[in-house]
Amino acid sequence: MLITILILQIIFVPLISPLAIGFIKKIKAKLQNRRGASIFQPYKDLWKLLHKDEVISSDASWIFKVSPYIIFSITVIVGASIPLFSSVLINFYTTDILVIVYLLSIGTFFLALSGMDTGNSFGGFGSSREMTISAMAEGGLIFSLLTMAIISGTTNLFEISNIGLFAFSKSILSVILAFIAFFIVLLAENGRFPYDNPDTHLELTMIHEAMILEYSGKKLALMEWAGANKFIIFTSLCANIFFPFGIAQSVSLDALSIGIIVLIIKIIIFCLIIGFLESKMSKFRFFRLPDLLIVSFIISIVAIGLINQL
């Protein structure tokens, strides 16, 4: 049964991630009085890209060519190393908070390198902006998760999700503040509003899209798929670390079924919130973004300071 859970952990993130992106786009379309594309359109787009030829710049090095495979592989590894619908798999090598954070940072590093590799000016400034945002979001990401680690007494994500809401209720204010800080970072790390517009190709506003502008065909499909995987990873962390209810704590079929259903419901709720936010607010100017990320960092520090104080 443990092998089955591990296989489900590996395939769940890449299987469901395009659907989540399509669902958000559908929500935004409905809120803007548009019909919008089907929620399964991202699957069709990936299938189309996987069957297209590639055009690679003559200036591109091996970094440009291998980055999509590295980035996609990292998202699959991280997706299998975080608590999704079960907390029974405890792998002490890749399930630690810092290991997860820095695996994701390696993916961001190669994404930025690939953006600069061809010498494209758009890719260069996209990479510069991405690394600026990522560096400033790092503090809020680590300290928001550290808050939960201090409360639960472990840095293992599966053990944190296994603690339960009762233990977190003793420091409920710290949990709420850490959740707010993490949600701000979630938007930043995934290029959502108000940091970036995931649907834009305007030269002066795109950040993530600028870095993958030179990609085409199969490599572009992997980059887009990896971005969707990363969104599900952050959403699942947010759902199961700060709201650890419904997650299976045994290997029974009933517990796993409930865990999967509850996780899907949590993801739908987060997609609804993000879709609503993106329909009601505009993208911030780039020089306003550090202020928001600093707020996330400060909130995380305050959350740590308030642990067991109330």
Which of 117-121, 173-177, 261-265 is predicted with the least confidence, judged by mean pLDDT? 117-121
Backbone angles phi, psi at 90, to 5 degrees: -115, 100
- 116 domain-assigned: yes
What angle do helix axes 217-242 and 41-50 make, rounded to 10 degrees? 140
| 3-state secondary structure at position 86 | strand
Distance CA 122, CA 111 (A): 14
* pLDDT band per the 50, 70, 90 thresholds, residue 165: low
For the segment 75-84, what is each residue's pLDDT rounded down to a tens digit? 999 998 898 8
Which of 18-22, 36-40, 253-257, 306-310 is predicted with the least confidence, judged by mean pLDDT? 306-310
Q: What is the DSSP letter of 81?
A: S
Q: For the residues 172-198, what does the mean pLDDT come to?
A: 86
- 183 domain-assigned: yes
Which of 156-160, 217-221, 232-236 is predicted with the least confidence, judged by mean pLDDT? 156-160
Please report, rounded to a whole number, the percentage of residues in the chain having pLDDT higher than 70: 93
Residue 96 is predicted with a pLDDT of 87
Name the pTM for this structure. 0.91
* pLDDT band per the 50, 70, 90 thresholds, residue 90: low
Q: Which of 13, 50, 24 is nearest to 220 (CA)?
A: 50
Distance CA 296, CA 250 (A): 35
- 295 domain-assigned: yes
Residue 310 is predicted with a pLDDT of 52
For the segment 258-309, what is each residue's pLDDT rounded down to a tens digit? 888 999 999 999 999 998 888 887 777 777 888 888 999 999 999 988 876 6
Residue 255 is predicted with a pLDDT of 80
- 39 domain-assigned: yes
Q: How many CB atoms lie within 10 A of CB 53?
A: 7
Residue 204 is predicted with a pLDDT of 62
Total domains, the chain? 1
Range of the domain at 163: 2-305
- 310 domain-assigned: no
| Range ranked top by mean pLDDT from 114-118, 159-163, 234-238 | 234-238
- 95 domain-assigned: yes
Q: Which residue has the higher pLDDT, 280 or 180?
A: 180
* pLDDT band per the 50, 70, 90 thresholds, residue 194: confident
Query: Which string of DSSP letters, residue by residue, matches 159-173?
Result: HHHHH-HHHHHTTHH
Q: Which residue has the higher pLDDT, 7 or 143?
A: 143
